[in-house]
Amino acid sequence: MVPAQRLLDIPPYPFREIAQLKAKAIAEGQDLVDWGIGDPDQPTPDHIVEAYQKEIWNAEWHRYDETGYGDMAFREAIAYHGRQRFGIEVDPKTEIQVAAGTKDSLALINWAFVNPGDIVLVPDPGYAVYKVNASFAGGTPYPTPLLPENGYLPDLSAIPAEVARQAKLLFLNYPQNPTTAVASHEFFQEAVRWALDNGVVICHDAAYIEIAYEGYRPVSILEVEDAKRCCIEFHSFSKTYNMTGWRLGWSWGHPEIITALSKMKSNVDNGVFLALQRAGAAALRGPQKCVEELCRMYQRRRDLLVGGLNSLGWRLEKPKATFYVWAPCPKGFSSAESGPASTDREAGRGRGREAESSESLSSALARALLVDCGVLVIPGAVYGAHGEGFFRMSLTIEADDPEARIKEGIQRMRDNLELEF
Ligand SMILES: *Cc1c(COP(=O)(O)O)cnc(C)c1O
């Protein structure tokens, strides 16, 4: 069976090598500290599950959602959330589209707007979904480098005029996966101005907008004046309410962008189960204490992990948002048995071996952490060329005592790796 060229053209699934190494380690009975995938380990809050349980018996919800945009009561709850949380006015009739999580919208927005040859500006490092679907739609993904010295914000003024002219979409994602960077109101203002000047649609992925620490409240791009003239923003229940498996989210923004997305979506699927939409309304209208508690839990893990890494020689600042830690690879590393990294670089694993093969530094580090320490991290190169030299650790940890696992992982790194910064 030969699949379509568009499928053959995309690079192999970036997590494949990691997944293979992980499967092998587990098959060999290795006890892994898993800082890999970002998937909340806590259950969905009871009041949301209970709301769903109740709604599921209502036969009215057992049929197609024929609205094309989503249940009106749910869209009204989303508009209410917009007022409460961001102080924005969004019209539930024309400016909101219900989605099965955000991933489907991130895909469909490309299909709705990109003609063959159009440029789609994507963050590098960033979530691969934007890029892959831009290619599926016949577009050309164009990476915008996110550099630490710019706070991992794209330098829009550096985008060549010719590229800007051909660009159709600009993907942004703040708080950002994988760098944990956040964006200010001022940055969004600048982005909106740039997009209006260049006739580009901004697609803002706000999946982590509620996962933030110490009172920091990430902003919605729709808070910016004129944003509704050129933006769509994607929201998800996945991270906020531990609902990755449920598949629920929404988009809001310019009515014409919402209409185009809705038209595309109704040709691809028939909307989200209505009982789930009602449960989503209950989540948005209900108490938000569960979100605060979730953030406090991640915050404790964040402090343990960042503190642990800094005790090993890193100099990391605590991320303001997301449940990740993004860290630079040390200059040198090797397994402790083979001697100090500074005197015996060629021996053992880690960087010594990297010098002999085409394996990137971040992959070599991830491999050394896995093989020498039984610790799983994601090499930054997986997220794009500018992710190289970094690695990502997730604070979502499936274990009876996640905090103990963080300490265990740090201890293993202390015992088994020689690090040079
Ligand atoms: C987890 C994540 C999402 C959310 O995906 P859903 O489809 O809503 O589950 C979106 N964008 C990024 C960058 C993510 O990391």
User: Does ligand 1 lie within 6 Å of residue 179's CB atom?
Assistant: no
The helix/strand/coil state of 248 is coil
Query: How much is the pLDDT for 357?
Result: 60
Pocket test for ligand 1, best of 39, 41, 44, 102 (most atoms within 8 A of CB): 102
pLDDT value for 350: 42
Nearest CA residue ID for atom 14, ligand 1: 207
**pLDDT value of position 338:** 54
For the chain, domains (ranges, CATH) are 5-43+290-420 (3.90.1150.10), 46-286 (3.40.640.10)
Please choose from 122, 129, 208, 235 the residue to mutate so as to test ligand 1's pocket, defined by most ligand atoms within 8 A of CB.
Answer: 208
Could you tell me the distance, in angstroms and rounded to a whole number, from the CA of residue 103 to the centre of ligand 1?
Answer: 6
Confidence of residue 9 (pLDDT cuts 50, 70, 90): confident
Among left, alpha and beta (phi > 0; psi -120 to 50; other), residue 180 is left
| Helices and strands of the chain, counted as H and E runs | 15, 14
- Residue bearing tokens 């003024």: 157
Residue to probe by mutation, ligand 1, list 180, 233, 236, 323, most atoms within 8 Å of CB: 236
- Averaged confidence pLDDT in the chain: 93
State whether the beta carbon of 362 lies less than 6 angstroms from ligand 1.
no
Residues 359-373 pLDDT 10s: 789 999 998 999 899
Average pLDDT over residues 2-29: 83
> pLDDT-derived band of residue 346, with 50, 70 and 90 as boundaries?
very low
Give yes or no for residue 175 CB within 6 A of ligand 1. Answer: no
User: Please, which pLDDT band fits residue 20 given cuts at 50, 70 and 90?
Assistant: confident
Q: What is the pLDDT of residues 138-163, one digit of tens each?
A: 999 999 999 999 999 999 999 999 99
Measured in Å, residue 332 CA sits from the centre of ligand 1 at 33
Tens digits of per-residue pLDDT, 177-221?
999 999 999 999 999 999 999 999 999 999 999 999 999 999 999
pLDDT at residue 134 is higher than 60: yes
Beta carbon of 238 within 6 Å of any ligand 1 atom: yes
Ligand 1, closest atom to CA 238? Answer: 9
Distance (angstroms) between ligand 1 centre and the Cα of 162 equals 31
CB of 244 sitting under 6 A from ligand 1: yes
For ligand 1, atom 1: residue with the closest CA: 207
Percent of the chain's residues with pLDDT above 70: 95
Q: Residues 66-109: pLDDT tens digits?
A: 899 999 999 999 999 999 999 999 999 999 999 999 999 999 99
Burial class of residue 349, CB neighbours in 10 A (0-12, 13-18, 19+) = buried
Q: pLDDT band at 37, cuts 50/70/90?
A: confident
**CA 49, 273, 230, 202 torsion: positive or negative?**
positive
Secondary structure of residue 252 in the 3-state scheme: strand
Residue bearing the bigger pLDDT, 358 or 212:
212
Q: Which atom of ligand 1 is nearest to the CA of 244?
A: 9
Cα diameter, the chain: 71
User: Cα 300 from chain centroid?
Assistant: 21
Nearest-CA residue for ligand 1 atom 11 is 207
